[in-house]
Structure 1
C-alpha cells in the first residue's frame, strides 16, 4: 500500500511538471511597432560596420509607414499587411555613399522589395518571398 502511494505521488508530480513545462512558451513579438534589427540576408550573417547605424526597420501602424536604416542610409516607405502577407512599397533612402556596407544596403533593399510573407518565432522575424525562400532574418530589439 505504501508503495502504491509513493508511485502515485511521483506520477502526480511528473504530471504537474509536464503541465508547467507545456505552458511555458516564448511569447512572439508583435510585427508592428517593434524595432527589427537585420541579422541575416538569406542565410548569410550581417555584421554592423563600426561607427554606423545597424540595418533595421520599424513598421508604424498609425500610417502604415516603414522607417529605418540600411546600415548606411536612412530609409522610409509604406507597407501593406494582410494576415501573413506583407509587402513594402515606395521604399526610398537617402543617397549618402559609405565606404563599407553598400552591398549589404543594396541586398537589404532588394530583399524588402521581394517580401511576400512574414513569420515570427519569439524574437525572430523571418521574411520570405513568394516561393517561400528566406530573404532576411531580423531580431527584435527592446529600446530603453
Structure 2
C-alpha cells in the first residue's frame, strides 16, 4: 500500500533532569507519546520506531528548567498519504451518499457519492445497506469489505 514510508532521522529529545538516571526510558517514553499522532516535522503519522542513543554526552539547556538534549538516531515508519495515492481500507459504515473506511486500523476516510463509480447502486437488502455493481452482480460493497481507493486530498 502506498502512503507508508521508512525514514531515517536524527532527533534531539529533551529530557527533564529528574529522569537523568533513566535517560533511555525517558527517550522511549517521549517517542512513544508521538505514536499515532500527526507530526508536521515528519509530515505524517508515526506508526513505529527503532531508536539508538548516539551521543552519550547530553547538552544542558539554560533557562528556568534545565532540560538536557539527547541526540538519537531513529528509523521511523510513517503513514503519509498524498493526493493520487492508492490506499486500502475496511468499510465500517455505508450510507446512500457515502462509504466510511478505516485505513490501517486507525485512520478514517470517507468516499462520497460523487467519487463512487457510477456502476455501483445503493441497495438495502434485509436491513443491510450495500453498493452493488450493475455490471457484475457479485461485486458487492458492504460493511467489512476491503476496498481500494485513490486519495483526493
TM-score by length of 2: 0.24
Specify the structure having the higher radius of gyration (Cα): 2
Name the TM-score, length of structure 1 as normaliser.
0.26
Q: Which has the higher helix share?
A: 1
The structure with the greater share of residues assigned to strand is 2
